[in-house]
Amino acid sequence: MKFGKNKDYKKCPRCNNKCMLSQDECEECGLIFSRLQFASNKAAKKKIRHFDTDFVIQTNQYPPDVSWWKLLIFTFLFGLVGGQYYYTGKYIKGGIMSAMFVYLVFCTIFNAQIIQMSGDAVTYFYLPVGLYALAWVVSLVYVACKKFKVPVIVDLPRDKEKK
């Protein structure tokens, strides 16, 4: 009797369809899994900046232009300001983390004035700070376990298409 997950299948990064490990192509969306080796985060960042996310795939198979070590260091050192999100091209999440960092600095500067407020209001005032710290720890764990999703575009190089 096996305990744990059955690893007879893999998930397609484009449509999340369950595919057998022996399959070369997703039967739902037609993604050829061998093309993931040509995935590019740099091209995905350009598309995201121009709000053209039709062909952007979120995957935890890191492309050659994303270093896991750099991502881990950015998450640990600059994770409170959203460094891991800016590095991978998730600019909206990075902006939210940066805004929460400003809120954390605000709470730190005006700590004495906040404590003088009535009892329940202080609890609700610091609740976002706790959630913010939890989000940083969760993203750190995701990066360390290589489960952090990176936006990529699967595109063959021009010289490979002609063959």
Task: Please tell me which residue, 42 or 7, carries the higher pLDDT value.
Answer: 42
Task: Please tell me which residue, 96 or 121, carries the higher pLDDT value.
Answer: 96
Q: Residue 1: which pLDDT band, with cuts at 50, 70 and 90?
A: very low
Cβ proximity of 71 and 143 under 8 Å: yes
Q: What are the structure tokens assigned to 36, written together?
A: 């993931």
pLDDT above 60: residue 157: no
Q: Residue 161: which pLDDT band, with cuts at 50, 70 and 90?
A: very low
Under DSSP, the state recorded for 4 is S
Q: Residue 64: which pLDDT band, with cuts at 50, 70 and 90?
A: confident
The half-sphere exposure of 31 on its side-chain side, counting CA atoms within 13 A, is: 25
Task: Please tell me which residue, 113 or 137, carries the higher pLDDT value.
Answer: 137
pLDDT confidence of residue 86:
94
Q: What are the structure tokens assigned to 144, written together?
A: 């360390």
Cβ–Cβ contacts within 10 Å for residue 151, how many?
21
Of 41, 127, 50, 129, nearest to 85 by C-alpha is 41
SS3 label, residue 156: coil
Range scoring the smallest mean pLDDT among 21-35, 66-80, 130-144 = 21-35
Q: Residue 101: which pLDDT band, with cuts at 50, 70 and 90?
A: very high
